[in-house]
């Protein structure tokens, strides 16, 4: 069983693993509770989500977004925005 006071290094490992292999519900709740309390780990999770979205865009059309009506320039601007963190 997990300790409530697990360090952030362990949480980041678990969150990273969870991107590919969803953990059981009790572990997801435990991760969520840590993310609510820890801004650093929460930011790490958001950064992983952003990297996954950027990877999806580079490797094809993410989430089936309709890009047929977009010019090459607009597509490139979207890719650049994703890469820069949508500032």
Single out the residue of 54, 53, 46, 10 nearest to residue 30, CA to CA. 10
- What is this structure's pTM? 0.57
Q: How many CB atoms within 10 Å of residue 51? A: 12
User: What is the reported pLDDT for 86?
Assistant: 45
Question: What are the pLDDT digits (tens) for 72-86?
Answer: 888 777 777 666 654
Question: What are the pLDDT digits (tens) for 38-62?
Answer: 999 999 999 888 887 776 655 555 4
Single out the residue of 83, 3, 8, 84 nearest to residue 45, CA to CA. 8
């Amino acid at each position: 069983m997990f300790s409530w006071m697990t360090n952030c290094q362990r949480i980041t490992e678990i969150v990273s693993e969870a991107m590919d292999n969803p953990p059981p519900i009790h572990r997801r709740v435990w991760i969520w509770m840590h993310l609510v309390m820890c801004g650093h780990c929460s930011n790490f999770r958001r950064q992983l989500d952003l990297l996954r979205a950027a990877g999806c865009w580079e490797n094809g059309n993410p989430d089936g977004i309709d890009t047929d009506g977009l010019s090459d320039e607009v597509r490139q601007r979207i890719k650049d925005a994703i890469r820069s963190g949508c500032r």
